[in-house]
Amino acid sequence: MSVAPVSLTMDRLGEKDEIVLAQATSQFLRCLCLQKSINYVLSDAEDSEIHGWIHEESSLCGRTFSACFTGFRETKYVQHAGPPPAAIVSDNSSFGCQSTVASEGLSEEDRRSNVVATHQKTVTCTDCFKIYQFAIPVCNFFPLPYLETKDANGRVLGRTQYVCDMCCAVPKFNVNDAAGTTKYYIRPDTCCCGTCVACKCGGGGKFRVPFIIRDPKTKEPLSMSNSQDQATITNLWTGMKNEFCTNKENYKLSFPQGATAEEKTVLMGSAILVDFTQFEQSE
């Protein structure tokens, strides 16, 4: 007899060493008003069973401008435990404009069921140019991109914030707890005295550079629990169909040793922010 997948509540998330965030939304030929909300399903890296899902809520205007201004829109990602509804599993098969805040077919009951956390931002600055596939935000009167993570009761758990410094060609992020203390620093490996991303060729000939979760003081990579492997956010090769026909992105999130359930939930928001700012419009 088959056993139903265990729902990915915050407590269950605290027991996991790795999670895969797989986009459920096709981004093939999405532009301007055809840009849909970006939704995800969450699975265990070991058994590939779906244990949770994330849906995005954003306005038609914000999604439309995202085709030209990556990372600009005000948005909220709602993280749920349990199997995803049909509207997420068969997400965005049509090419019409999405006029609602959330995906077509997603009911109000679905939007409010089994909520684990939310990851939310207001309007922020956008990227002004790209180096390879990495988007570099322009610093202006808007704040830099971020996602604030809250639990189901609205309690702030932490915040992931884009960092702008002298090495502006290298995307990097601070991960803070609820008190504002920086717990983690996320950045790819670099070359040229830290001024450029150290690119590596991955599946399909594309650059797939892990965003490494580091100690915020020493900037040294952190290891996973019971492993010498580094804690990372890694953009995975998803096969020919997803890479070239749907442009869906998958990420493996490997948590650092000693991370609490709340910190892992904030790091889920970090993985979404990496996709939101760096890869959403890279195709």
Q: Is 89 left (phi over 0), alpha (psi -120 to 50) or beta?
A: alpha
Quick: pLDDT tens for 71-123: 889 999 999 999 999 888 876 566 678 888 988 889 999 999 999 999 999 99
0.75 surpassed by pTM:
yes
Supply the range of the domain harboring residue 216: 10-279
Secondary structure class of 250 (helix, strand, coil): strand
What percentage of the chain has pLDDT greater than the value 90?
Answer: 52
**Beta bridge pairs of residue 55:** 78
Is there a domain that residue 3 lies in? no
- Specify the length of the chain in residues: 283
The amino acid sitting at 15 is E
Whether residue 2 lies inside any domain: the answer is no
274 contact partners, CB below 8 Å, separation of at least 6: 171, 173, 186, 211, 233, 251
Does 254 fall in a domain? Answer: yes
Does the residue 1 lie in any domain?
no
Q: What CATH number is attached to the domain comprising 82?
A: 3.20.90
Q: Could you give the number of structural domains in the chain?
A: 1
Q: How many CB atoms lie within 10 A of CB 171?
A: 26
Note whether residue 272 is domain-resident: yes
The 10s digit of each residue's pLDDT in 32-62 is 788 889 999 999 877 778 899 999 999 999 9
pLDDT in tens, 198-230: 876 555 445 568 999 999 999 999 999 878 899
Residue 18 lies in a domain: yes
Residue 178 lies inside a defined structural domain of this protein: yes
